[in-house]
Structure 1
């Protein structure tokens, strides 16, 4: 698959950022994050109504409310909201979208992202590439800095951009505030070094995809609900699929007991802190507002009950409660989060 960038633009906010909003401090939670970029790609089938100019105009308009994304990260301490803009590329792909969807190749998929090697992102916070396939299908690839946004923040931005693109006067758009540093003030952490993986180091990781149809997920939910009748609420989609994948891993590795001696495995689940803050924060509160629940799963049980993973993960997630968040705000959870 060949992807050729045919235009390069810089999209700036349609209105200048006021001087009093020029600097956005990183919060304590931002300080703890890896200096990495999260990739997102949205695929769309052929649509003759696609308007490239409107997409760029709506991005310029929505950046007025999401102004840090058009700024630059400075010294790992704050974002300079200088309206320097977002890199916006248009690319042509020499195949049909169906070919990529039916036979995904995760090395080739990276070509749909701006700066596939990630080395050129620099101090930027967001970059976008719109890819047009031979069939007129579209893939919008985004790199977003994890330094300032978690996944939910990213979805909030994309959903608002989509609403603005559909209707410039939409009343569904909710502009957020960027004051997370007031809730989680930045801290001096002697000896703590922010990890920033180079492009070469990131190539060590291998990505594989598992596709579960809606019917398959429903069947898994029904199976685990039947085997966990004591749980209320019953297992969710995420819990059911996670338990299934863990059970397959256990079945595949338990036979070789000699190789498993002295080994332990950890299962990690991201937890949204917004509803756990007192008082709860709205989902439109943007920044890094997530932590991780971690458990060392038991090797007991059966594949049918997911080796007890669902119960163990729920117990781990219960520990991330209001008291936990309060300690985090006071800086008392630092070691637990970075160890």
Structure 2
């Protein structure tokens, strides 16, 4: 296994907005503060070298990336600021244009050394900047000996959610690809844990949605229902124990008036569904999926404002220590990156081969990600108790296998 010495940082600087931007203290909402103890979200984009660029130095030109980043930071100026605590002890962003940390590194590794594309502490250690100060965001461009590139980024979750983060990547890459012609489109403790990636093909997803009630059920609701049931069975939970499925609800269109396109910050609230383990383990998937769908459907302006009021009142007594460790042995959390523009990060040298969290170390978490191939499949990136991995995998695919056999 290669060590950290095989990734050497050769340049470090701060990229500032291309023009003067507003300088002020940016207040963080209760929804932001709720997620602040998550710390930095580590992301990595892998790119293979474009055909025809083997003999040029243009592939992932550092100068071009910095220029584009400076232009992107004009609109996303808080990302060039610093986190600080105000006089009342509340976290805020000091929009001071000090710039975003930008590192350049070189490595004797190749992209194929990471062909399993699973989150790991090593992936984060090698390719994601170490945050030692109060930066909102930092990035590292690592050039492999094979000619490929890893773009690693750390984004503080207290400042922005996934939709805002990938909007930023879209903006940065569009400026890199199109320059001043760019037109930005706004898109909408259990023991040792291991990371595993499972894939559900388009036909399997169609089957799952049909079981869950047909076209009225979203991919998220159907897949989450299936994962929850498989997890309850694999864990062999006591039948009368309470199990909980947690997930985030996007509130951008739930508010009155709706949030504007391009809203910067966290615009999600945490919601959950709870039931007896026996009801989930042996229950009808259509029932479970509709429980999830109905929970999302109840998220409206009144519920969000009540949640924000509660969070504001609870802020003084909330423990802001970092969120570490696994979920309760009965619970799981599903994070959806479905329909997000993950693969629209084309700096002019092609779309990424893969996009994933660099590290995922909290047992019971699952991330849903669209396939990079555009074939309609979904990747499920699981952080799961090692002792139940084999049984969980069997259960995940058993339903589809039984349906194939039933046709004969």
* TM-score w.r.t. length of structure 2: 0.65
Between the aligned partners of 1:46 and 1:283, the Cα distance in structure 2 is 33
Shift of 1:263: 3.7
Shift of 1:284: 0.7
Shift of 1:261: 6.4
Change in Cα spacing, 1:301 to 1:142, as seen in structure 2 (3 Å) is closer
Shift of 1:290: 0.4
Aligned to 2:323: none
How many residues end up aligned between the 2 structures?
296
Which of the residues 183, 186, 197 maps onto 1:210? 197
Aligned to 1:196: none
| 1:38 and 2:36 correspond | no
Which of the residues 241, 250, 260 maps onto 2:223? 241
Change in Cα spacing, 1:55 to 1:309, as seen in structure 2 (3 Å) is same
- Encode CA deviations 1:99-142: one digit per residue, 9 max, x unaligned: 20236461221121001xx4x1x211011011111111111111
Alignment of 1:309-324 (within 5 A): 309-324=288-303
Aligned to 1:300: 279
Between the aligned partners of 1:307 and 1:233, the Cα distance in structure 2 is 11
SS at match of 1:83: coil
Aligned to 1:198: none
Which of the residues 141, 163, 166 maps onto 1:152? 163
Between the aligned partners of 1:336 and 1:78, the Cα distance in structure 2 is 17
Q: Is the 8 A contact 1:127 1:143 kept in 2?
A: yes
Aligned to 2:67: 57
Aligned to 1:100: 114
Which has the bigger relative contact order, CA under 8 A and spacing at least 6?
A: 2
SS at match of 2:242: coil
Between the aligned partners of 1:154 and 1:174, the Cα distance in structure 2 is 14
Between the aligned partners of 1:332 and 1:320, the Cα distance in structure 2 is 15
Aligned to 1:253: 235
Change in Cα spacing, 1:66 to 1:99, as seen in structure 2 (3 Å) is same
Q: What's the RMSD between the two structures over aligned residues?
A: 2.9
Q: Is the 8 A contact 1:224 1:235 kept in 2?
A: no
Alignment of 1:168-183 (within 5 A): 168-173=179-184
Between the aligned partners of 2:263 and 2:92, the Cα distance in structure 1 is 17
Between the aligned partners of 1:245 and 1:29, the Cα distance in structure 2 is 27
Question: Structure 1 stretch 57-66 or stretch 307-316: which is displaced more?
Answer: 307-316
Change in Cα spacing, 1:26 to 1:225, as seen in structure 2 (3 Å) is closer
Change in Cα spacing, 1:292 to 1:207, as seen in structure 2 (3 Å) is farther
Which of the residues 116, 132, 135 maps onto 2:146? 135
Shift of 1:242: 2.2
Between the aligned partners of 1:205 and 1:140, the Cα distance in structure 2 is 29
Shift of 1:293: 1.6
| 1:79 and 2:90 correspond | no
| 1:275 and 2:278 correspond | no
Between the aligned partners of 2:163 and 2:243, the Cα distance in structure 1 is 27
| Structure 2 unmatched ranges of 5 or more | 54-58, 320-408
Shift of 1:245: 2.3
Aligned to 1:8: 12
Q: Is the 8 A contact 1:174 1:284 kept in 2?
A: no
Between the aligned partners of 1:309 and 1:124, the Cα distance in structure 2 is 41
Q: Is the 8 A contact 1:293 1:313 kept in 2?
A: no
